Amino acid sequence: MNEEWGCLIGLGNPSIALQEETTTIGRVHQTCLKTQTRISSSHCVISHVNLPAYSVTNITDTSSNGTFLNCQRLNKNVETTLSSFDFVQFLDSTQKEVQRYIFYEKSAENSKFLKNYEFENYIGAGSFGVVYSALNKITKDLVAIKIISKSKAADSLELLRRESATMKTICHIHVVAFHQEVETETHFFIVMEYVPGVSLEKVFESKLSDLKLSDDQKILFLHDFFELMRDLHAKNIVHRDLKPENIKIEIVKQKYVTFKLMDFGFGKEAAELTTTLCGTPMYVAVEVYTNAMTQGSHPYNAKKVDVWSAGVIAYQLITGKHPFIKSGECVKDFFNRAKHSTFVESNEFKLLDDNFKELFKEMLCADPEKRPTFEQCLKLTVFGRKRECERNEKSPLKKCE
């Protein structure tokens, strides 16, 4: 029998060792899958080839009920590249017999780090890597581990190192805590506090009544959010990628409890933000677009970019709509409306309290010189309502040891 070169690490189900150049996985091939009737006899095939400088691993779905890679269903009988730490799933998440795994190509360096952790669940994936929840076997803490492929992030390695160094300096009640960073030959491992709750993006999308907040509750959240950004900017720390999916919020029975901001500086480069309206570009200030379209000839103030992004988030939270995006329009239409600070006409905006309108017009001013700081935003009339809870006068931001 050949030496084990990799494995599928089971998440709540048994792991599967990979030893051969070609491994067929299914009910008739692995004992641990024998009783799983929804798993096909031959569910998928994993092939592995060692080349002089690197190795190549592919996965091919051969099933009736689906093989998923990082939550995307694979086309049947089509070979797809498999990277170490990819999330592999047999059957969709609604199925009782769903089997979840982390594909891991063995590496002495990576194994030395990973031996201290027991993976629990898949959290999400981005352009550079994936995030899993895991139990620290030594401290028993539940953490989140962001695993970044250095080959996929080749053009952004210095950015990753610099932003990781920044994260180490931040200790704030509303910022996800940084635990550890390990860099090996092939990967970055960033260990962070595990944050329960849901992303603000999910709150926007949800139809569940328990996640609906009153305007007063929304103001409480926005006040906390803007205070955090004020504190960070006072330390010359900018986020640059503020968006709902980077904000985890805890809501209990329609009451805002707390939130955490995540993912400092691990977003896309500005030059990549000009081609589509999905994801990050929806929250990027007009001056970033202008800079990208002129090959970097229009430098911008990153703090004012954070204010714009937070303004878009606030607008969506209050109205349920994006301020500048109209269904069926292209990037050019969106940009033209944003650069003139012309909001999409909607009933939701017309019915807004004048204090909210003032907030949005200030934060989403196309001229960054006229755009307020977060300190100035907090002095606007909308935040003058009596708070429902006492606040500590001291900033919760402090220097990490």
Annotated binding site for ATP: 146
Distances in Å between the Cα of 350 and the Cα atoms of 69, 74, 177, 191 are 44, 45, 40, 45
Residues in CB range of 211: below 8 A, 6 or more apart: 198, 202, 203, 251, 254
Q: Residue for token digits 């269903």?
A: 73
C-alpha to C-alpha distance for 234 and 172, rounded to whole angstroms: 13
Residues in CB range of 266: below 8 A, 6 or more apart: 126, 128, 146, 148, 160, 163, 241
Q: What is the DSSP letter of 207?
A: -
CA atoms within 13 A on the CB side of 374: 23
Q: Is 241 labeled as catalytic in the residue annotation? A: yes
Q: Do 245 and 199 meet the contact criterion of CB atoms below 8 Å apart?
A: yes
Q: Residue for token digits 């250095």?
A: 150
Q: Detail the residues annotated as belonging to a binding site.
A: 146
Residues in CB range of 64: below 8 A, 6 or more apart: 40
Q: Which residue type occupies 58?
A: N
C-alpha to C-alpha distance for 128 and 133, rounded to whole angstroms: 17
Q: Is 382 helix (H, G, I), strand (E, B) or coil?
A: helix
Q: Any idea what the Cα angle at residue 342 is, between residues 341 and 347, rounded to 5°?
A: 130
Residues in CB range of 231: below 8 A, 6 or more apart: 172, 395, 396, 397
Tell me the angle at which helices 286-293 and 302-319 cross, rounded to the nearest 10 degrees: 130
Q: What is the 3-state secondary structure (H, E, C) of 64-121?
A: CCCEEECCEECCECCEEECCCCCEEEECCCCCCCCEEEEEEECCHHHHHHHCCEEEEE
Q: Give rounded-to-5 percent helix, strand, coil for the chain.
A: 30, 25, 45
Which of 61, 224, 231, 241 is labelled catalytic?
241
C-alpha to C-alpha distance for 163 and 328, rounded to whole angstroms: 36
Nearest of 302, 264, 265, 260 to residue 172 by alpha carbon: 260
Label residue 399 exposed, middle or buried (CB < 10 Å: 0-12, 13-18, 19+).
Answer: exposed
Active-site annotation, residues: 241
